[in-house]
Structure 1
């Protein structure tokens, strides 16, 4: 189910221009295991913030009675609705920094989304209020000691990873992945990203979720917190 009647404000980041290729890349390289290995005890309702093309939401729907998945990009949600529809998933177009969901969840997840938010502490506090007692927060986001890495670094990284990707995904998929990583739209998007350092990341999330614990996964940091 796709609900796109919500008012979208401050639309500063959109994946519409490269939604199809992003879905291809995300399908190849998803990190769903981190989330599936940290599900909540109660399996009533789950919320996926920044769901993209619905890869994680679709998998969560195998465990939870209901899944609400929100994203800012209409084209991403169109792909999700077409490829990963299920009777217990509701896709909603909504700004993650201005969530308007008058309901609570047993699990709230998000992958590589929160570095886009202009006021992360405020957003986290709002999200925290939507968690049921004994519910669970599981977030994963990028970290970097350089707030916005140089574009050249991404280009060199894409070239470096091409041969290993050929071994993992096969030549055709690796070539398509390389083209996406070097596409002007994707590089322009990366140039607009603002990442937290590991120290700032831990500070902000620990302040909002006392007692949370962290899992470092390469250039990502995972956050897990239970509402006891």
Structure 2
């Protein structure tokens, strides 16, 4: 039986979807630079290549082999290493930046994942995490996504043209993507702040609409 949480079934389509959505704006705005960065749940490498502009070495980690294959083929850089691995298997640590974008809600133990990412950052380094939140439903029903796709189509058509807008509209309606979304379980904004405040005292937050972004600097 295919795991609905897996990205393997729609890796190519999801890569294009992420390119259209452009999910690295908040990260780029932080202006972080250093020697080593980790992108936990890197997908096809969109954020990893942006990190490669400011860090000497970037490690991108993802469970999905098809996503890592795409990253290696489309976004290879001399200072980026892509690994097919569970984030809990990363033990080399000492990163100046530990970054994750919309990966945390896929972990079976959310808090343990946060603690592990925290353990990988060096003194004075930064942990930066973005994850989906939902205040009304831990798992939003299918109709929420479909309604959003219908309501957003005219705007996307004006912004991107018929080809890309139609692709995105169809992607929102695709069975593998909807089955994946049905396997997700999100924290509310208040739950997010509660657990992150506990693990990362003094963390700073930015509301990015569908998600909350957290930035925390380890004591030097």
TM-score, normalising length: structure 2:
0.95
Structure 1 78/56 Cα, relative in aligned 2: closer, same or farther at 3 Å? same
Could you say which residue in structure 1 is the equivalent of 2:115? 125
Q: Give the CA deviation at 1:16.
A: 0.7
* CA RMSD after TM alignment: 1.2
Contact 1:39 1:107 in 2 (8 A): no
For each residue in 1:98-123, what CA deviation from the matched residue of structure 2 results, as whole angstroms up to 9, or x when unmatched?
Answer: 23332310011111110111111111
Could you say which residue in structure 2 is the equivalent of 1:17? 9
1:12 and 1:24 map into 2 onto residues whose CA distance is 19
For each residue in 1:9-33, what CA deviation from the matched residue of structure 2 results, as whole angstroms up to 9, or x when unmatched?
Answer: xx87310100111000100112212
Contact 2:105 2:184 in 1 (8 A): yes
For each residue in 1:147-172, what CA deviation from the matched residue of structure 2 results, as whole angstroms up to 9, or x when unmatched?
Answer: 00000111111111111001111111
2:104 and 2:170 map into 1 onto residues whose CA distance is 26
Could you say which residue in structure 2 is the equivalent of 1:210? 201
Matched, 1:139 2:129: yes
Could you say which residue in structure 1 is the equivalent of 2:171? 180
Contact 2:123 2:218 in 1 (8 A): yes
2:90 and 2:48 map into 1 onto residues whose CA distance is 19
Could you say which residue in structure 2 is the equivalent of 1:104? 94
Aligned-partner SS, 1:67: strand
TM-score, normalising length: structure 1:
0.92
Instruction: Give the number of equivalent residue pairs.
Output: 216
Aligned-partner SS, 1:149: coil
Unaligned runs of 5+ in 2: none
Could you say which residue in structure 1 is the equivalent of 2:83? 92
2:97 and 2:12 map into 1 onto residues whose CA distance is 28
Could you say which residue in structure 2 is the equivalent of 1:54? 45
Q: Which residue of 162, 182, 185 maps to 1:194?
A: 185
1:104 and 1:177 map into 2 onto residues whose CA distance is 38
Matched, 1:76 2:40: no
Unaligned runs of 5+ in 1: 1-10
Q: Which residue of 54, 61, 65 maps to 1:63?
A: 54
For each residue in 1:171-190, what CA deviation from the matched residue of structure 2 results, as whole angstroms up to 9, or x when unmatched?
Answer: 11000111111000000000
For each residue in 1:8-58, what CA deviation from the matched residue of structure 2 results, as whole angstroms up to 9, or x when unmatched?
Answer: xxx873101001110001001122121112244x51000000000000001
Structure 1 81/162 Cα, relative in aligned 2: closer, same or farther at 3 Å? same
Could you say which residue in structure 2 is the equivalent of 1:164? 155
